[in-house]
Amino acid sequence: MFEHRFSSSDTVDRAILEQHDMEYLFDDGGNTFTFMNTETYEQVELSKDDLGDNIYFLLPNIKVTVEFYEGKPISVEVPQTVVMTVVETEPGIKSATASSVNKPAKMETGLVVQVPPFISEGEKIVVNTAEQTYVSRAN
């Protein structure tokens, strides 16, 4: 990132971005994540650095939008909400109702989200991807 000042007579070329709907397939267990174009079936690999925090929302077969600049993928847009499974949290309390006291819960992708006390391991919940927060129980 750098700062550059333009004079009023300077012109700037508009960047043309292409967007493609893609499906997440798998990761190699390390740094590479593979996506498939849903129209052409072409596969694209992105690194963990390219994806940033979006790696926490990559569940098998999830549909994402990938932006390309000059044929190279530059960003991935995940859905606003995803359904995830709680794999680790303190035991749920049956009589607990929604309150301001939450507990941490680890999702299947490693993401940790604060959830209400009545959520227990194995439950599916809806997670807001922009804020990385609990929304509700999944149906």
| Rounded CA separation 28/85 (Å) | 21
| Rounded CA separation 58/49 (Å) | 14
Model-wide pTM > 0.95: no
pLDDT 10s digits, 52-83: 999 999 999 999 999 999 989 888 999 999 99
pLDDT 10s digits, 94-124: 665 555 689 999 999 999 999 999 999 999 9
Where in the sequence of the chain do the CATH 2.40.50.140 domains occur? 17-77, 81-137
Q: Which CATH architecture has domain 81-137?
A: Beta Barrel (2.40)
**What is 17-77's CATH topology?**
OB fold (Dihydrolipoamide Acetyltransferase, E2P) (2.40.50)
Contacts of 109 (CB under 8 A, 6+ apart): 55, 56, 57, 58, 59, 84
